Amino acid sequence: MDGSIESTLRARGHHEHPVELYNLKNPFLIEKLHREFLEAGAEIIQSNTAGANALTLAAHGLHDKVYEINRKGVWQARQAAVGRAYVAGVVGPVGKFLTPIGKLHHEDVREGAMAQLHALLDGGCDLLLLKSFIEIEELEIVLEAARHISPDIPIIAHKTFPEDAAVLATEFPRQIAARIARHGVAAIGSNGTVGPNRMLTIVRSLAGADQLHQGLHLSAQPDIGIPTLVDGKPVYNATVEYVANSVKALVANGVTVVGADGGTLPEHIRAIRQAIDGMEVGRPEVKTKKRKEPAEQADTTTQQGSRFQQSLGRKFLVSVELDVPRGVEMDHLFESAAYLHQHGIDAVNISDGARARLRMSPITISHLITQRTGMECITHLSCRDRNMVGLQSELLGAHALGLRNILAVTGDPTHIGDYPYATSVYDVDSVGLIRTLSRMNNGEDLMGNPVGNGGTNFMVACAVNPMAFDLEREIARLERKVAEGAHVAFTQPIFEASTVRQLLSRTEHLNIPIMVGVMPLRSALHAEFLHHELPGMFIPEAIQQRMRGAAQPLEEGVAITVEFLQSIADVRQRIAGIYIMPPGKRFDMIVEIVRRMEE
């Protein structure tokens, strides 16, 4: 195959973005570059269309140019090839994650792929090259679209792998190869991300797929190396000779469709052509994976779920939210957790920078509380402050520390908190985080890479607001959370029995345990603040009036809470327990509420 049109354009001083725009603005330049790669020895010319799908082009105001850019991209390659080389119509990923991890919907990908593929095939390409795909789901969507349009056209499908020997040493690459092969492709392989030396490891990992013994070919297009960014521009250290000799090793290990990707100029292709001329394609080196003996398996005691999860449905649970103070002084927090533990509270909830306030990491606090007091924690984890890598890293660390209960929250935006100019990340929302937790429980990360030892064993908790302004939307989101693997739902504070009954009725089909949130009010001002200034909170007017007329507001708040809990006694068997958000630091009131509830 030929090299990188983009790298060659940049090397020649052409920096307009996206590079597919040159198909319209300077078609003769693109045709000239194709000819240079052809003269260097390429036998497959790739159309300059990798990012020419509707969703990617829309970001540049080119959504109406999809057909023209793709058809002309193939035509320019054909003009250069003139029967001397095959022309591959190239399709790349959208560059966004699919739902629920990201906001990209499967149908949007399919429609975009269909439009691009129609244009490439109308242009007369000889084969399709699907390259640079990170998510196997997205690659399969495009493969299905391609086979729908053209059942017979040859397809080369590339899945991009991380530079991670631990992942490549598992069965994961072979499983990927099997999934791709089901779509009737001519060749499977990988491109980009890694240099030719690391690509050899990927090739050897793929080589064990059974499909390779049934006529399926191996393909590889490594970058020429890992670049250093200088003033935002990639600079590669790899010499032409190094790249050519490294690619020889790929051919020796069974690669029949070979080339190079990022950083590849015509001189690299010329050197590769000269290096592999006359070579026989070797047999891939396949290493047999040894199965672990039972004695080597992870200790089963570490694979058991939390006490809280095991108690769901077996006893009426009580959890209490602890207010995390600012700074590093946490002694009162530890004392509170110990006090609640001594009085039979099942768990404490540790929030993650609620209202975007600066607080100590909830994972650190949860670990310290458990270690010092024996109290089980339900650790809230917000999507606001961490990207996908950070979230998964935190979860692995939490699991290693013995934490097993994670409540996934989207998180309040930073502009309402201590640092209003800080960046809110939101790579995923709470639904995406729940999928992340479920995947880790199933032994893989978001990209399907194995996490080892059979996976994690988190209890996956979520939030639901039965007093949401748009209850239909709230129930629909809860349905998505349950579908992604949530084990239990914690509600916002509720003050009326009718709200609980409505929630139970609306969620009966989901069969998810519900922890009913309660918040003892401490004053009339507290009630008014919650009702008027906190989104999603509703305090009935009758309760607000009781608080206004109370001679002892704290006692009245406790009485209101107890009355509420007694009013839902008839549905107690249908809820998992209560989640108490106490007023201030009055944990003695929590014990009193629980005692009076049981009377």
Sequence-distant (≥ 6) Cβ neighbours of residue 47 within 8 angstroms: 70, 73, 74, 76, 77, 87, 88, 89, 90, 120, 123, 125
User: What is d(CA 349, CA 467) in angstroms, rounded to the nearest whole number?
Assistant: 21
Instruction: Tell me the range of 13-17, 59-63, 292-296, 402-406 where mean pLDDT is highest.
Output: 402-406
Q: Which two tokens stand for residue 102?
A: 């990201």
With 80 as the cut, is the pLDDT of residue 54 above it? Answer: yes
Q: Which of 123, 153, 183 is the last residue of a domain?
A: 153
With 50 as the cut, is the pLDDT of residue 297 above it? Answer: no
**269 and 340 belong to one structural domain:** no
CATH number at residue 494: 3.20.20.220
Q: Mean of the pLDDT values across residues 250-263?
A: 94
CATH number at residue 69: 3.20.20.330
Domain containing 119 equals 1-153
**276 and 345 belong to one structural domain:** no
Q: How big is the chain, counted in residues? A: 599
**146 and 162 belong to one structural domain:** no
**Residue at 102 is within a domain:** yes
**Residue at 302 is within a domain:** no
pLDDT confidence tier of residue 591, bands split at 50, 70 and 90: confident
3-class secondary structure, 316 = coil
Q: Which of 118, 133, 153 is the last residue of a domain?
A: 153
Element of type H or E holding 318: strand 317-322
User: What is d(CA 22, CA 4) in angstroms, rounded to the nearest whole number?
Assistant: 14
**119 and 220 belong to one structural domain:** no
**Residue at 434 is within a domain:** yes
Peptide bond into 362 cis (omega under 30): no
Q: Are 521 and 564 in contact (CB under 8 A)?
A: no
Question: Which DSSP symbol is given to 458?
Answer: -
**Residue at 206 is within a domain:** yes
Q: Comparing 12-16, 89-93, 405-409, 496-500, which segment has the lowest mean pLDDT?
A: 12-16
Q: Mean of the pLDDT values across residues 172-194?
A: 90
Q: How many domains does the chain have?
A: 3
pLDDT value of position 291? 46
**178 and 97 belong to one structural domain:** no
**256 and 286 belong to one structural domain:** yes
pLDDT value of position 299? 41
For the chain, the average pLDDT equals 90
Peptide bond into 540 cis (omega under 30): no
**Residue at 295 is within a domain:** no
**Residue at 300 is within a domain:** no
With 70 as the cut, is the pLDDT of residue 290 above it? Answer: no
Q: How many CB atoms lie within 10 A of CB 400?
A: 11
3-class secondary structure, 11 = helix
**144 and 168 belong to one structural domain:** no
- Give residue 575's region: left, alpha or beta (phi > 0; psi -120 to 50): beta
User: What is d(CA 484, CA 487) in angstroms, rounded to the nearest whole number?
Assistant: 10
C-alpha dist (Å) from residue 351 to 24, 498, 506: 53, 28, 27
**201 and 254 belong to one structural domain:** yes
Q: Which of 153, 182, 201 is the last residue of a domain?
A: 153
**Residue at 391 is within a domain:** yes
**144 and 264 belong to one structural domain:** no
Supply the pTM of this predicted model: 0.80
With 90 as the cut, is the pLDDT of residue 189 above it? Answer: yes
With 90 as the cut, is the pLDDT of residue 42 above it? Answer: yes
User: What is d(CA 591, CA 343) in angstroms, rounded to the nearest whole number?
Assistant: 7
**196 and 315 belong to one structural domain:** no
**412 and 558 belong to one structural domain:** yes
Q: What backbone phi and psi angles, to 5 degrees, belong to 133?
A: -80, 125
C-alpha count within 13 angstroms, C-beta hemisphere, residue 229:
2
**283 and 336 belong to one structural domain:** no
**Residue at 85 is within a domain:** yes
pLDDT in tens, 397-432: 999 999 999 999 999 888 888 888 899 998 889 999
pLDDT in tens, 490-541: 999 999 999 999 999 999 999 999 999 999 998 999 999 988 887 778 899 9
